[in-house]
Amino acid sequence: MKSDVLSSERFDVYRAVTNTIVAAIEAGAGEFVMPWHGNGVAIAKPQNAHTHMEYHGINVIALWAQAYEQGYRSGYWGTYRQWQEVGAQVAKGERGSTIVFFKRIEEESKAQGDEPSIRLFARASRVFNADQVEGWTPPEERRQPGTGEIMESVALFVQASKADVHIGTMARYNIPGDYIEMPEIGRFIDTPTSSATQAYGATVLHELVHWAGAKHRLDRFGERLKMEDVAAEELVAEIGAAFLCADLGVSNTPRPDHAAYVGHWLQLLKNDTRAIFTASRLANQAATYLHEIVAAGEW
């Protein structure tokens, strides 16, 4: 494959992609939906194993970050007592992840006849991932296999990069092992903004951008990532995936789910207005690097 990654034309395309993502975030991109499904539950948000309710707000981002950092494969969480109530036991030595919940308290008004006021008190709680417990089996698969296929352009690009890709239960880049893990293609589903085929392409390219950031490649991170580092790295990977999707014909314009995903991680960075542009610069560097190594392999 002939590479023109250093051309001003590609730079302009990448800048246009970034601007589109920013505009979508400002307009309100909505909820992000993971484009694959696992054990009976779409891995869109972390879910409580006892109540079956999804976590919301900052807890979604916090638990995503913890799952990424610790390598948890499950989307199910629960407190120590909740796991006991479903017949499971948190393994010895496991440490919980902190979440926040709000308790409503009614306070009587001093003025006669006034309605009581409602106050919200923030309380911290610790939850454990299903990977940290023993004696629990997740719900059986309830979904039909997805209809996704691997686009030839994406398959050839990943193959030419020489990245090591393993089949697993979630999408992630394993830093110590230096390999990419991807769910089986049959687990990818259509979302409101993309087909299963597009979803697979965007996901594997996202992980490929992570792979390019390894210490012996572009050196964006160390052996472990703190939560703030995870947020910044996820911005780079998702924007880089949007760039590569445009390059390889996966999608002509960034989809709302790119913007929604980026928006979640920007919240963790306290809405730093410069973060997305720093991430865009690093994403451009990663996309350029990947095109160069693919071109060097005479793809």
Ordered by start, the domain boundaries in the chain are 8-37+143-296, 47-134
Structural contact between residues 30 and 260, judged by C-beta atoms closer than 8 angstroms? yes
Per-residue pLDDT of 217-231, as tens digits, reads 999 986 666 656 777
pLDDT of 60: 74
pLDDT one-digit tens code per residue, 174-192: 888 999 999 888 888 787 7
155, 60 Cβ separation under 8 angstroms: no
Contacts of 178 (CB under 8 A, 6+ apart): 164, 211, 214
Give per-residue pLDDT as tens, 109-141: 555 555 666 665 667 889 999 999 999 987 755
Grade residue 142 by pLDDT with cuts at 50, 70 and 90: very low
How far, in Å, CA of 105 to CA of 110, rounded? Answer: 16
Task: Write down the pLDDT at residue 40.
Answer: 34
Sorted by sequence, the CB contacts under 8 Å of residue 28 that are 6+ apart come out as none
Higher pLDDT, 129 or 69: 129
Whole-model pTM above 0.75? no
CB atoms within 10 A of CB 272: 14
pLDDT reported for residue 23:
67
